[in-house]
Structure 1
Amino acid sequence: MKQKIVCLLAAAACFLMTACEKTPDKSLVTQKNIDSLEEAAKEKPEDGSTLKDIIETTTDTYSFNYESDDKKIKITADNVQVTLPTKDTIPMYHVKCGGISQEVTDKVYDYFFPDGAYSTTGTDVTKEALDKEIMSLKQYIATVKDDTQMSEEEREETIQQNEDLIQKCEEDKKTAPDESTLKTVPKDSTYVDQEWQTLGGTEMVKGLTVSSEDSKRSLNVVSADDDSSITSFLRYSVTGGYNYSGQQGVPARSCSEEEKQQIGISEEDARKYVDDFVQKTGMDWKIHDTLCIRGFTVRENEDTYGDSGDMIYPGHDTAYKFILAHSVDGIQSAVTSSAYVPDECDDDTYITWLYEQISVVVEPDGIVDFEWEYPLEVEDSVSDNVGIISFDQAKDIFEQMMPLTTKGDLEERSDDENSQVSITADVSDIRLGLMRVRSSGTEKSGLLTPVWIFYGDYTQSVHFLPGKGDGQEDYDNTQEQPWILLAVNAVDGSVIDVTAGY
């Protein structure tokens, strides 16, 4: 086994030091890796490789310190907890990016709208409203014509786009009502057919869009087939207070008690809202991590065209954000905030399939935001007892590969003559769990395979050289939590590319 691991490390190292090129048969190579994984999972585990055996030989904590010769890379792990499943065996499954069933939507609807929800019919796009829009568009075109910051090409393109919008408004005016016909009507949780326009043409999905009667609470669900270019999602939000869209949080473990008190609810009490929601909807979700997060309000700018405004932040965090993980057969699947896609996304045949993301934001009065994207659907079992590598083998791979991957990342970001970049990776959590390995970039299917996952903080620090950077200040860019520093496939010891998905 040791010789096998060394060979894998050598191959991975060669890959990291070679420029990434698109090749026509890359998906075929991926498929071969998937096939090999599946075949390995079906074999009877060797002595000492079952989960029960691994549990007996795994230490409770892990420590590691590395610093590159040039001091630009630092990797640390300080008595980090190693978490294992409380079972004797670990499985492998076939999975796909699934839809959201009507049954699940019914439960979420009933939870957030116990007195029922509403939708709208008709329109408030009247002739008068369209006239105002046309006037605004013309005013905007006038400002664009005088904009010296735009290139001639940008100016012409922007003007043409807005003239097309004016023409569309003029067409809509022919059938628009003189007065608003918009009405609010009761709506149950039953899906309706929705037509979506995509780059590949028109696609049909099942969906639900409802809100409370005062429109302060809304639920939007889309359920698409796994062969669709549209990905299923479910979003619930409360408006009128703070907005949390696109906001990063900081791990609650690093927030002081004073900072948590300013939120207005304890972390323990906030967690009760999440536990209640998960229990009553019957979902197989577990809390993976908790963040303290700061919402914002928007102050509209009346003197500018379009939807614009100033984002106003309070002086303290305003909520907890709970990151949930799909639990399969009692074993937690991997979670990551990464939304990166590989170069293959430029290919017309590439289908984006990020890792499942589930989050709940809780304020003192309860849940104000819930998002579920890229839902993972288990199809069938490949094996209920897969042989895996030990933690000692996994940490050896981490200690050899993490400096290499970080060095590659550093070199990508160190081509600026005006600044110097350094990277710090701090391991915060290590888990043996399940992680989706993708079949190819043209399918939303793959395997849910055992993986040793090293979570942590990943910070890129940029220092501007004296007299450089046009007076810019040094800054740190820390990846949003949860972040996977390295994922080691527990079946064959290979390193999983979280961006590519295999």
Structure 2
Amino acid sequence: MNKKSTCILTVLLSGAVLLGGCQETPDSVIVKPKGREAIEQYEEDESREESGEEQQGLREKLGVPERFQDEIVLEDGKVTLTTDAVIELPKAPGFSTIEVSAVPLTQDFMDRITQGLFPEGKIYSSDSYFVMTKDDCQKEINKIKAEMAQASTESEDEEEISKENLQNMLEELEAAYAEAPETAEKEEVSPLLAVDESGFESFSGVVETPEPYLYRIFEGSGDSIRVRVSHYGENEAAQPGAGWGEYQFAKDDIISQIGSEDEIKSSAGISYEEAKKIADDKISAIGVSDMDIGSWDYAVYMYRGNEGEEVQVSNTGYMFYYTRQIGSTPIIYTLSEGGGLEDMDSTIEPWTYETLKIVVSKNGLEELSYVSPYEIGKTQVENVKLLDFEEIKQIYTEMMQYKVSSQMDNEYLKEYKVTVDRITLGYTRIYSPAQDSRSGLLVPVWDFFGNSEMTLNDQEGTRDASSIPNNSLFTINAIDGTIIDRGLGY
């Protein structure tokens, strides 16, 4: 694939993930207003009958088939929308609408995380822990000088660019050497929140248990709280910029290094059950009792060097995504973080979805990320009335046809195929950021997951398949049929 085709595909795929176009939504009886006014119209379902078989009762009540199969060809055969999916229902007789708000960042919240993860660990300031001594600086200076000597073997143009970059790095290191201490002295600190230079409360430090962990808690404009814990070992120190990633996202890059899923499972050195227990214990330790795994994947610790260099993989494990459970029904996990803005000029403060991610290897906890935790409030409607699946199917079919067809407005696109292979019914959070950016409502939604394939209108007929795990292509409010933008969160 040439460079131009790669750039075009990047642009197209970014639009395909959202499955949106720039056209206005067509006039339709199924397009309804959203917001607080619509929420106030949610009704109690007084017709529900108790059923001994909960899942079957919900399936019968809404007229949900076991599988939904359909294929629609549009735009003179250039666009194909295929649906072939088993429909997943929770083991619950019905749904409620539940008020939810953002947990505030307080010292008590931070103390719970600290005591849960590091009950006996010593905590040091980040600045003192990672300070470069004169000896550290001199080693880096020697490396740069060696690279400068080697740069003379490159072509003339490459040599000038390389020498300029290396000279700048050398000057920076020599300046750092002049200010560096002879020895590093770690400063032990208490894990206390303080207002940082951006005006938000935060804490950042390094915990020794005895292995060091980077530990940070802060609040921001999009996240009500973000907890970040990551193991800082020899690999991290030797390879700045390295990190953990999902195998399904990275496998095209790393397949030559670690091979198939069976091979990565073997290389992990720990079973799924053992890793899950470690992750569950960490969840329990920080006081979270109503979350369970919504998705998982094998995890790979990767370092990506300069362009053209092979990706280096130095460790493998498991990556778990936890979601909150409302009774026996989960909040559906999707790739989208929510909390997006409708345009770059927006002054609205966004609010991301609650997410809890844990990475475990044979060495134990590698990473923990806890973002925008929810505080569950009162139930608004105990047993809310849901639309029949036939109505949901009508909305999905009509609006998805429009959205996939709108992709053909792009002159570079020759063919576009979308396949929906998973349909789920569960909860998500919606909110009205213009009215309140830190409270919302849990509502039942239908999510349609799948993948896409596109062919460029070029001489090569370049093809690219996009199969992104947990990418919800379309989300419908199961109560009133309104379409929810996963990127925005409402």
Does TM, scored on the shorter chain, surpass 0.5? yes
- Which residue number in structure 2 is paired with residue 183 of structure 1? 186
- Which residue number in structure 2 is paired with residue 411 of structure 1? 408
Matches within 5 A, 1:95-494: 95-96=101-102, 98-120=103-125, 122=128, 124=131, 176=179, 178-180=181-183, 182-185=185-188, 187-188=189-190, 190-196=191-197, 202-212=198-208, 216-224=211-219, 228=221, 231-238=224-231, 239-241=233-235, 243-245=242-244, 247=246, 249=248, 257=262, 260-283=265-288, 284-297=290-303, 311-313=311-313, 318-339=316-337, 344-347=342-345, 349-408=347-406, 410-411=407-408, 414-416=410-412, 420-431=414-425, 433-440=426-433, 443-463=436-456, 465=458, 467-468=459-460, 474-479=463-468, 481-494=469-482
Cα distance in 1 for partners of 2:334, 2:397 equals 21
- Which residue number in structure 1 is paired with residue 83 of structure 2? 76
Shift of 1:361: 1.6
Cα distance in 1 for partners of 2:156, 2:200 equals 41
Cα distance in 1 for partners of 2:196, 2:202 equals 9
Q: Deviations over 1:334-380 (max 9, x none)?
A: 32212587663411513343322221122233331221223333344
Shift of 1:448: 2.1
Shift of 1:449: 3.4
Q: Secondary structure at the match of 1:407?
A: helix
In 2 relative to 1, CA 441–311 (structure 1 residues): closer, same or farther, beyond 3 Å?
Answer: farther
| Equivalent pair of 2:121/2:207 in contact (CA under 8 Å) | no
Shift of 1:192: 2.4
- The reply to whether residue 19 of structure 1 matches residue 23 of structure 2 is yes
Cα distance in 1 for partners of 2:482, 2:349 equals 24
Cα distance in 2 for partners of 1:360, 1:263 equals 15
Shift of 1:259: 5.1
| Equivalent pair of 1:60/1:81 in contact (CA under 8 Å) | yes
Shift of 1:195: 0.7
Give identity over the alignment, percent: 18
- Which residue number in structure 2 is paired with residue 11 of structure 1? none
| Equivalent pair of 2:246/2:297 in contact (CA under 8 Å) | no
Shift of 1:325: 0.8
- Normalising to structure 1: TM-score of the pair? 0.69
Cα distance in 1 for partners of 2:22, 2:48 equals 35
In 2 relative to 1, CA 241–61 (structure 1 residues): closer, same or farther, beyond 3 Å?
Answer: farther
In 2 relative to 1, CA 94–294 (structure 1 residues): closer, same or farther, beyond 3 Å?
Answer: closer
Cα distance in 1 for partners of 2:335, 2:329 equals 20
Q: Secondary structure at the match of 1:336?
A: coil
Q: Secondary structure at the match of 2:199?
A: strand
| Equivalent pair of 2:340/2:487 in contact (CA under 8 Å) | yes
Q: Secondary structure at the match of 1:296?
A: strand
Cα distance in 1 for partners of 2:156, 2:106 equals 50
In 2 relative to 1, CA 86–344 (structure 1 residues): closer, same or farther, beyond 3 Å?
Answer: closer
Cα distance in 2 for partners of 1:338, 1:462 equals 25
In 2 relative to 1, CA 184–334 (structure 1 residues): closer, same or farther, beyond 3 Å?
Answer: same
Cα distance in 2 for partners of 1:219, 1:379 equals 33
In 2 relative to 1, CA 444–403 (structure 1 residues): closer, same or farther, beyond 3 Å?
Answer: same
In 2 relative to 1, CA 455–258 (structure 1 residues): closer, same or farther, beyond 3 Å?
Answer: farther
| Equivalent pair of 2:227/2:370 in contact (CA under 8 Å) | yes
Q: Deviations over 1:162-207 (max 9, x none)?
A: 99xx99x98x999x5654554242x45x4320413xxxxx313142
Coordinate RMSD, CA, aligned? 4.7
In 2 relative to 1, CA 195–345 (structure 1 residues): closer, same or farther, beyond 3 Å?
Answer: farther
| Equivalent pair of 2:447/2:474 in contact (CA under 8 Å) | yes
